[in-house]
Amino acid sequence: MKKISRRMALKTGIVAGIAAAAKASDAASILQVDHPTPSEIKGPFYPVVAQKDKDFDLTVVDGRSTAAKGEAIVLDVRVVDTVGKGVSDATVDIWQACASGKYSHPHDPNPAEPDPNFQGWAIVPSGENGSLRFKTIMPGAYPAAREWTRPPHIHFKVSKRGYVELVTQMYFPGHPLNTDDRLLNRKSDAEQTLMIAKHVSDTPKTFHYRIVLQKA
Ligand SMILES: [Fe+2]
């Protein structure tokens, strides 16, 4: 009798355990928590020269008739919180080198030719559901030190009240210079995956980049 009740108790315990695990897994699938986008150094070339035109289209500068040199691309960005909810009206600040790898910054030592028709800097709000689209050009690689060439990347600073400000750099998938980049390679494989945009279309060439902000 004692033996049966112990067996029963054990059985009931196992069933209860399975039920609890199922409940936990349901909860996890409903409330999947994302890792925030890893941060990265701001670097020395955050713009310091005032410019009026900081809109979504970096391929054309207001008042100039010639488009920027280089391969035009679209960046389809979505800003979300750690449970995947879109964050609208976040301030998204991006800056990058032109096609030759030169920043519009007085202290950039790269001897490459600057492109006066490239906007190079944008500050725009995220829209409904945290979505926004930039038109820009594929940034050029540039020398950072002896035997170190930075792969094409775009700098981001994303802020909104109630969230931790994110400063990071976005990379392009499959670029051969990614492999040896001294900054990107300090990150774990999982972190690198979060920092590399996804190629989603060729017409026009479009990359998707998901930015996950952490609540403050
Ligand atoms: Fe950079």
Neighbours of 213 (CB within 10 A): 24
Q: Report the separation in Å between the CA atom of 98 and the middle of ligand 1, taken as the mean of its atom positions.
A: 11
pLDDT of residue 33: 83
pTM (predicted TM-score): 0.85
Measured distance CA(120)–CA(118) in Å, rounded = 6
Q: Report the separation in Å between the CA atom of 30 and the middle of ligand 1, taken as the mean of its atom positions.
A: 38
pLDDT band with cut points at 50, 70 and 90 for residue 2: very low
Neighbours of 7 (CB within 10 A): 10
Measured distance CA(89)–CA(41) in Å, rounded = 24
User: Looking at the domain that runs over 34-213, which CATH code has it been given?
Assistant: 2.60.130.10
Contact 69, 142 (CB under 8 A): no
Q: Report the separation in Å between the CA atom of 61 and the middle of ligand 1, taken as the mean of its atom positions.
A: 21
- The tens digit of pLDDT for each residue in 4-61 reads 455 554 455 544 555 555 555 555 455 678 999 999 999 999 999 999 999 999 999 9
Q: Report the separation in Å between the CA atom of 55 and the middle of ligand 1, taken as the mean of its atom positions.
A: 20
pLDDT of residue 44: 96
Question: Percent of the chain having pLDDT more than 90?
Answer: 84
Query: What are the extents of the domains in the chain?
Result: 1-31, 34-213
Measured distance CA(199)–CA(197) in Å, rounded = 7
- Provide the 8-state DSSP code for 66: S
Q: In what order do the strands lie in the sheet with 121-125?
A: 121-125, 91-95, 153-159, 166-171
Measured distance CA(58)–CA(214) in Å, rounded = 28
